[in-house]
A = this chain, B = another copy of it.
Amino acid sequence: MKIELRAEPFDPLAELQRHQVERLELKGRYGATAIFIGTMRDYSDRLSIGRMMLEHYPGMTERQLRKLVEIASQQWPLLDALVIHRVGELRPSDPIVLVAVWSAHRAEAFAACRSIMEELKSKAPFWKREDTAAGPRWVERNTPG
């Protein structure tokens, strides 16, 4: 299980490749990998977005992410999990979050990946401030999953 915050842009597919190479002992044991990648869009509520600041609560954010992945690992028989989340200044099409889980069968991989994303959205202390064509604004709430 690995959880990371990144202050610089990251490439989710390259991260997955790297992570799997570090976990070669799992090859042949997992039959299912479920992955979610959240990416910054260039529009929001019909306004064009040029830039986004992702603020977090250093210490608490890492702790809450670890906790929700641990809860998912207790709920489903996961072989591995990887969560990477951006902080700082983002540009459109920058990856925001990567959630990947590995398990023997697909049902638990799908369920755990989705659950981790929903828990992350509702519990991990991150806040988005968008620079829109009409000026900066804090995103007030996440859309329901």
Seen from chain A, the residues whose Cβ lies within 8 Å of a Cβ on chain B are 13, 16-17, 27-43, 92-93, 104-107, 109-110, 113-114, 117, 143-145
This chain's copy number in the assembly: 2
With A106-B145, A143-B105, A144-B107 already in contact, the answer to whether A31 and B41 are too (CB < 8 A) is yes
Closest to A41 in B: B31
Chain B's nearest CB lies how many Å from the CB of A13?
5
Closest to A30 in B: B39
With A36-B34, A145-B106 already in contact, the answer to whether A17 and B28 are too (CB < 8 A) is no
User: Can you offer 20 A-B residue contacts whose CB atoms are under 8 A?
Assistant: A27-B92, A28-B40, A28-B41, A28-B92, A29-B41, A29-B42, A29-B43, A31-B38, A31-B39, A32-B37, A33-B36, A33-B37, A34-B34, A35-B35, A36-B106, A41-B104, A105-B143, A107-B145, A110-B117, A110-B145
